């Protein structure tokens, strides 16, 4: 328990650091966000700068921003006039979480059976098949996959909607495209760890007792072979994040990634900063959660560090 408190503290430090780093990076950029398109009358510009507190000394602005973060207020968006960053993010979060969760579900749903199947038929054709498909899937950038699927399922066969928000059918392709590379990795990781477990005396003993191999795989092998897969979820979440930047763009989903990319391109720095902060927090909490899960699954992990 103490360890998790310490990790939580470390996460707070990282958040603080990321916030400070991005804040000063943003504010040291030459030129304000309002002087790009056309020359504003001096009074208007002054009023705008005052409205966004951009005329104060930098340290005062920073203090303002930090106290804002503590109050759950990330300031106004510089591009979407009259909206708060926190509101934009609050609307985007459920979309990104649905996408990420769906992708993770796809990854586990496809990856676990495939990995187990491959391990149980080592060096036979199912194993080779799973390994080759996995290698191919890992080489498939998900925007390419997305393009191909949209061309087939939306344009040629008109089965699924090509983009946008909506019901369950709208989520199928985005989640599949985002999840597939991770399914491939899950399959490979699970295959390796299941092969190790299959060689332990426990499995031999179970076989000797006459347990049929299906029960053996499901009950005993899978349970102990899942550990590396759970450990992989931490790094996978970072990868899902990268992928979601692209997938949200392709499928026009107004999630966190799409907002972040737009904000970075539009120089909407408050929104970009808020999204970065949120990403850091989510990643940190997720990796904390996986560690917690690992410790619960295998008590030896607790004493390791």
Partner 1 sequence: MIRLRQSSRWGLFFLLLLSVIAFLAPSLPFEDPSAIHLNQRLVEPAWTQAPFLGTDSKGRDLFARIFFGARVSLATGLFGSLLALFIGIPWGSIAGLLGGKVDRVMMRIADAMESMPMVVLVLFLLSILSEYRMELDAIGIGRMHVFYLAIGLLFWLPTARIARAEALRLRSSSFVQAAQSVGSSRSRILIRHLLPNMAPSLLVMLGITVPRVVLMEAFLSFLGLGVEPPSISWGLLAADGLAALNPLVGCWWLLAFPAAALVASLLALNLVADGLRDRLGK
Site residues, partner 1 (CB under 8 A): 10-11, 13-14, 17-18, 21-22, 25-26, 29-31, 135-136, 138-141, 143-144, 146-148, 150-151, 154-156, 238, 241-242, 245-246, 249-250, 260-261, 264-265, 267, 272, 275-276, 279-280, 283-284, 287
Minimum distance from residue 49 beta carbon to partner 1 (Å): 18
Minimum distance from residue 285 beta carbon to partner 1 (Å): 10
CA distance 245 to 256: 8
CA distance 189 to 185: 6
Of 117 and 269, which CB lies nearer to partner 1 in the complex structure? Answer: 269
Minimum distance from residue 178 beta carbon to partner 1 (Å): 13
Of 190 and 216, which CB lies nearer to partner 1 in the complex structure? Answer: 190
Question: Cα–Cα distances in Å, from 196 out to 25, 114, 186, 202, 269?
Answer: 48, 16, 15, 12, 49
CA distance 229 to 108: 9
Task: Give me the DSSP letters along 226-257.
Answer: HHHHHHHHHHHHHHHHHHHHHHHHHTT--SHH
Of 154 and 224, which CB lies nearer to partner 1 in the complex structure? Answer: 154
Structure tokens at 34: 């309002």
**Which residues contact residue 294 at a Cβ distance below 8 angstroms, ignoring those fewer than 6 apart?**
227, 230, 231, 301
Of 27 and 53, which CB lies nearer to partner 1 in the complex structure? Answer: 27
Minimum distance from residue 118 beta carbon to partner 1 (Å): 15
Of 66 and 144, which CB lies nearer to partner 1 in the complex structure? Answer: 144
Minimum distance from residue 125 beta carbon to partner 1 (Å): 16
Of 86 and 241, which CB lies nearer to partner 1 in the complex structure? Answer: 241
Of 60 and 242, which CB lies nearer to partner 1 in the complex structure? Answer: 242
Let me know if 270 is exposed, middle or buried by CB neighbors in 10 A (0-12, 13-18, 19+). buried
**Which residues contact residue 8 at a Cβ distance below 8 angstroms, ignoring those fewer than 6 apart?**
288
Minimum distance from residue 266 beta carbon to partner 1 (Å): 9
Minimum distance from residue 295 beta carbon to partner 1 (Å): 18
Question: Cα–Cα distances in Å, from 262 out to 168, 245, 269?
Answer: 26, 10, 10
């Amino acid at each position: 328990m103490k360890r998790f408190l310490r990790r939580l503290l470390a996460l707070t430090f990282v958040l603080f650091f990321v916030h400070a780093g991005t804040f000063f990076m943003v504010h040291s950029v030459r030129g304000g966000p309002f002087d790009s398109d056309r020359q504003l009358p001096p009074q208007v510009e002054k009023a705008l700068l005052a409205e966004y507190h951009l005329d104060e000394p930098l340290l005062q602005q920073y203090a303002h921003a930090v106290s804002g973060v503590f109050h759950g207020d990330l300031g106004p968006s510089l591009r979407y006039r009259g909206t708060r960053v926190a509101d934009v993010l609050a609307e985007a979060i459920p979309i990104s979480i649905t996408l990420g969760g769906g992708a993770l579900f796809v990854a586990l749903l496809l990856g676990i059976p495939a990995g187990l199947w491959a391990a149980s038929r080592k060096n036979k054709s199912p194993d080779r098949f799973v390994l080759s498909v996995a290698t191919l899937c890992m080489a498939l950038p998900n925007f390419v996959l997305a393009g191909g699927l949209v061309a087939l399922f939306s344009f040629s066969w008109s089965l699924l909607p090509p983009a946008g928000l909506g019901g369950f059918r709208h989520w199928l392709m985005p989640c599949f495209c985002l999840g597939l590379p991770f399914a491939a990795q899950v399959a490979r990781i699970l295959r390796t760890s299941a092969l190790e477990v299959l060689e332990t005396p426990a499995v031999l003993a179970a076989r000797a007792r006459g347990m049929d191999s299906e029960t053996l795989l499901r009950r005993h092998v899978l349970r102990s072979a899942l550990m590396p897969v759970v450990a992989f979820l931490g790094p996978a979440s970072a990868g899902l994040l990268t992928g979601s930047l692209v997938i949200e763009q392709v499928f026009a989903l107004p999630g966190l990634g799409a907002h972040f990319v737009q904000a970075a391109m539009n120089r909407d720095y408050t929104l970009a900063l808020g999204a970065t902060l949120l990403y850091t927090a989510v990643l940190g909490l997720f990796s904390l959660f996986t560690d917690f899960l690992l410790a619960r699954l295998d008590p030896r992990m607790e004493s390791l560090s």
